[in-house]
Amino acid sequence: MRKLPFSMKQHHKQSDRLKDVVESFPKLTVIVVGDLVADEFLFGEISRVSREAPVLILKHRERRLAPGGGANAVYNLADLGVNVLPVGVVGDDEPGKLLIKAFRHKHIPITGVLKEKGYTTVTKTRILAGMTHSSRQQVVRLDREPSAEPSQHLKRELVLAARRYARASDGLLISDYGYGAASPQILSAIRAKGGLDRLPVTLDSRYRMLEYSGVTAATPNEPEVEEAMGIKIGQDWSRLISAGEQIIGRMGLESLVITRGRDGMVAFNRRHKPLDIPIYGSDEVADVTGAGDTVIATFTAALAAGASTEEAAHLANYAGGIVVMKRGTATVSQQELLHAIETSPPATRSH
């Protein structure tokens, strides 16, 4: 029997280990404390230019609503086979009811999703236009948001729900889109009295990553890192590494993954040198909507399964590469992830 070269053996070993991690997902339970968002897509066919103003008139063809923000992270975990427990707030309105219906459809428990009269479910409406048989282009986005953060009473209920769930969970994901259901204060309250002693806590925070403490890992994209650190990275590798190491130090993280769009991602670990991982699949991206939710969902599931930073980052990279090839807010299934590992061994770039 012909012996495999050492590098190929290593690749086989790595791939087998990644497959083992993915196959263990159904044994895991992960809590998501997040800002639950409804992503609405309105599709219209261009018929003519309006006489009232220089704008297109669209004939309405289709409406679709998908879980977005923290709700998309929940959906991604469910599609990876993980038992997921969402904690968040929706309004007693149509988008809120549709989000709860979507969770029920996937058999996701909803006891931690609080429904509040008078609260507006965060809804992001994207209007897309196109001709018959042509691709559809987003022309405008309309955001409906609550006028204020959830009340103190609701925040206390969110903390209590997360604490109850923590007793039977393997990980906690914080999905903070800035609407108040997943703030640094809420995480601190959940942590109080040893509520999260043994759980890995992962963070995806749009605007205030550095305000959190007691987090195991974070997955910002490069523009979020630039904004948080007040720098411009561009193609400067040493500046990127310096920023990553500073964030790990300031936040006391075990792991950090910085996503870089078509340049893939860089994984940092306190004990190893950073790992530069090229994008999986094509860099001809179809749609990046919600890709960050897919990355953190996969990364969290992998850490909860006992994966190393490197292994979790490779899996998150596969998932991110798969999801950006899909239109709209989308998810990656456990089978798609396993197929990606089988057909393409994990790759890194040296510096």
CA atoms within 13 A on the CB side of 197: 4
User: Minimal CA–CA distance to 293: which of 328, 266, 268?
Assistant: 328
Q: What's 226-243 look like in SS3? A: HHHHCCCCCCCHHHHHHH
**81 and 25 in contact (C-beta within 8 Å)?**
yes
Residue 5: alpha-carbon gap to chain centroid = 37
User: Is 293 annotated in the active site?
Assistant: yes
**Ramachandran sector of residue 28 (left: φ over 0; alpha: ψ -120 to 50; beta: rest):** beta
User: Minimal CA–CA distance to 341: which of 309, 298, 306?
Assistant: 298
- Catalytic option among 35, 170, 204, 293: 293
d(CA 311, CA 314): 5
Which residues participate in catalysis according to the annotation? 293
